[in-house]
Amino acid sequence: MKRIRESEEMYLETILLLHRTKAYVRAVDVCDELGYVKSSVSRGVNLLKKKGYITVDAATGDIEFTDAGRKKAENVYDRHQTLTKVLTKIGADAEMAEENACRIEHVVSDEMMEVFKKFAEDM
C-alpha cells in the first residue's frame, strides 16, 4: 500500500511541476521527467484517472487535474518544499535535502508534517 501511495504522489507532483513549465502535459512528458518506461506511466496515469485525480483528453493525450487531483498534488509539493527547507536549515546541503525530502514526503505522518511546518514557519 505504501508503494502505491508513493508512486501516485510522485506522478501527481511531477504532473504539477510539468504544468508550471508547459502548457500541455502528456504521458510522454512524465516518462521523460521521471525516466520511467511508457507502460509504467500508462498504468500510473490510468490509476490516477480511476481515482478521479486527472482527466486525459482522448484526442490529444493532454493531462489535466480535477479539483481533487490538483489539491492532492499541491499538498504533496508543499510537503516536499517544507521538508527541503527544514533539512537545509538543520545542515543538509541543497542536493541532499532535496533528495531526502523526496523520499520522506511520502512516508511522514500528517502529525509529524505539522511539526515540520511549524518549525519551518519559526525559522
The per-residue pLDDT for range 36-83, each reduced to its tens digit, is 999 999 999 999 999 999 999 999 999 999 999 999 999 999 999 999
Percent of the chain with pLDDT over 90: 88
Residue 82 amino acid letter = T
What single-letter DSSP state applies at residue 20?
Answer: H
pTM score, whole prediction: 0.88
User: Boundaries of CATH 1.10.10.10 in the chain?
Assistant: 2-70
May I ask the CATH architecture of the domain 2-70? Orthogonal Bundle (1.10)
Task: Name which of 15, 10, 3 is nearest 102 in CA terms.
Answer: 10
Please check whether the domain covering 75-122 is classified as CATH 1.10.357.10: no
3-state secondary structure of 22: coil
User: Boundaries of CATH 1.10.60.10 in the chain?
Assistant: 75-122
Sign of CA dihedral 18, 24, 27, 29: negative
